[in-house]
Structure 1
Amino acid sequence: MASVNPLARLLALALLSTPLMASVDWVSALVALVLELLVLWAAGVNLWYLLKRTWFLFLLAPFTAVTILFYAHPAGQTYWHWGLIHISENSVQLALASLLRVVTLALPAVALFLHTDPTRVADAMAQNGGLPTRFVLASLAAVRMTGQLMNEWRVMELARRARGLADGNRFKRFGQMTFAMLVIALRRGADLSTAMIARGFGTGERSWARPSLWRARDWVAVFVGLAISLLALSAAVWAGTFRWFGG
């Protein structure tokens, strides 16, 4: 998986997730989830490690399901009704489908881009995707600066505590620190922009230190993403559970 071009991973994810949004049913979501796990396992991804890194998905997904379970449009057999809460056969099916779909769409996104080097993504977008070089390099610089801004936040917080400025209202302190971080980010962005212009970034055709190669395995990854979505939707049509989104 690590050897697949980042642009191919992005295309595979788009071809996997976009068609699945056409239907809200539990069969297509379950089939897609099973196929995703099989493909990730065959590609060398440690599934146990992946599940540990995505524990928040399994914590947040049930909240979506519970909301739909309580407030979805009632249809079919009614199991329980109280006030605005109406649990029916339709709401149970929609809740199960939503729960599986959230996991199905979010899990491959985490797996495909776990520990991905931002520089490799930028190289692929510019060399293989044909995006403007200035836009790609500016985005890469912004991503690189994010970690430094987080360190700046911690240093600022320690400095305010040392000066006795951290004993007041938490919300007021958070607002002051957020404004200070905004000023720091704008100043650093302006300095970085000036430095990049001075070094000739975005002024013409440029060379690349690390060429981004597009190989046969990248086409395979894109095809697999499309195949999973098509097989999942075909299974839903065969099982009779296919229902258009919003229908």
Structure 2
Amino acid sequence: MTLALEPVADPAAPLARRNPVAKLGAALLFSVPLIATLDPLTPAIALAVELCALPLFGVRLGVLARRAWPLTLAAAGILVTMVLFAADRTGAHLLSLGPFDITTGVVTGALGLVLRVFAVALPGIIVFATTDPTDLADALVQNAKAPARFAIGALAAFRLIPLLTEEWQMLTLARRARGIDAGRNPLAKLRLFASTAFALLVGALRRGGRLATAMDARGFDSTTPRTYARRQHFTKADTALLVAAAALGAAALTTSILTGFFNPILG
């Protein structure tokens, strides 16, 4: 199994066609207000807005669910942690799980954190599901004025990520062919996992060094002005996307304040 890093959205969708820097900036502007409060209402509103915007990005809900499955594991971990270690156990008592009392304060805190994880992470998932990595690197250099060495190096590293899964499989098969197998011993499995991960790390560092040398030899670190095969234009529609994202994020936070749910993270 390999990782799918290419865009999976409909390229003809209105917002999928926007400049990669504009989409990345919109995701950041929309997410910033969500980290200012601990209440569950703000991320719930933001999550509803994100789901409503999916058709405009050309992303199907099933595709989003497959890409966002790690968030479900994170949400489950947050829920368990809050139930076991929450300091705020005020509010009405709901039920008891052995020595742990579940109160409305625990439920509210856990719900706010879980919704915030999804609301903050989904914009980034949507951006990378609708953006070609090469276009993003070009836009960072052309529109955001990021250093070409950083942008192109990050693109090269991003392109090499699928090789890690292939190398892991090859290392596992090679060790199995040599008779190295942990069987059902959990400690042996842990040692085998650690040694395989170390071998993978060594291989990745060696490849990174060779790639950096090759890129320098081809003039990627040159101070000579660069030309671009694909121009990335920042239009008025891209500016409108940034403004709309900031306005929607502020509206979610304002709604929380006006309804009395606002719970500042500081103070």
Letter in 1 for 2:178: R
Q: Distance between the aligned counterparts of 1:83 and 1:170, measured in 2?
A: 33
Q: Is the 8 A contact 1:69 1:94 kept in 2?
A: no
Q: After the TM superposition, which of the residue ranges 85-94 and 190-199 deviates more from structure 2?
A: 85-94
1:174 aligned counterpart, secondary structure: helix
In structure 2, the CA distance between the partners of 1:152 and 1:53, relative to structure 1 (3 Å rule), is closer
Question: In the alignment, which of 154, 157, 175 is matched to residue 160 of structure 1?
Answer: 175
Question: Are the aligned partners of 2:41 and 2:256 in contact in 1 as well (CA < 8 Å)?
Answer: yes
Query: Which residues in structure 2 correspond to 1:124-143 (within 5 Å)?
Result: 124-143=139-158
* 2:16/2:56 contact within 8 Å kept: no
Amino acid at match of 1:172: R
**Segment of structure 1 superposing worse, 48-57 or 170-179:** 48-57
Bigger Cα displacement from structure 2, 145-154 vs 47-56:
47-56
What does 1:1-247 align with in structure 2 at a 5 Å threshold? 1-70=15-84, 71-80=86-95, 85-114=100-129, 116-166=131-181, 169-204=188-223, 205-247=225-267
- CA 1:178–1:62: 2 relative to 1, 3 Å: closer
How big is each residue's C-alpha offset from its partner over 1:225-247, in whole Å with a ceiling of 9 and x where there is no partner? Answer: 21121111111111111110155
User: Per-residue deviation at 1:97?
Assistant: 1.9
Cα distance between partner residues in 1 of 2:25 and 2:181: 47
Identify unmatched segments of 5+ residues in structure 2.
Answer: 1-14
**Residue pair 1:25, 1:94 contacting (<8 A) in 2 also:** yes
Deviation at 1:155, TM superposition (A): 1.9
Look up the equivalent residue of 1:195 and give its one-letter code.
A
1:76-111 deviation digits (Å, cap 9, x = unpaired) = 334456786343332232222222222222222212
Alignment-derived partner of residue 11 in structure 2: none
Instruction: Go from structure 1 to structure 2 and tell me whether the alpha carbon gap of 1:179 and 1:29 turns closer, same or farther (over 3 Å shift).
Output: closer
Residue range with higher mean Cα deviation, 81-90 or 17-26: 81-90
How many residue pairs were aligned? Answer: 247
2:93–2:101 Cα contact (<8 Å) kept = yes
Contact 1:36/1:228 (CA < 8 Å) preserved in 2?
no
Q: CA RMSD in A?
A: 2.4
CA distance in 2 between partners of 1:167 and 1:82 (Å): 37
Q: TM-score, normalised to structure 1's length?
A: 0.88
Taking only the aligned residue pairs, the percentage that are identical comes to 39
Deviations 1:17-74 (A, max 9, x none): 1111111112222222222222223443323432344244345424423433552413
**Counterpart of 2:116 in structure 1: which amino acid?**
R
Give the 3 Å change call, closer, same or farther, for CA 19–137 of structure 1 in structure 2.
Answer: same
Supply the AA of the counterpart residue of 2:170. V
SS in 2 for 1:87: strand
- The 2-side partners of 1:245 and 1:229 are apart by 16
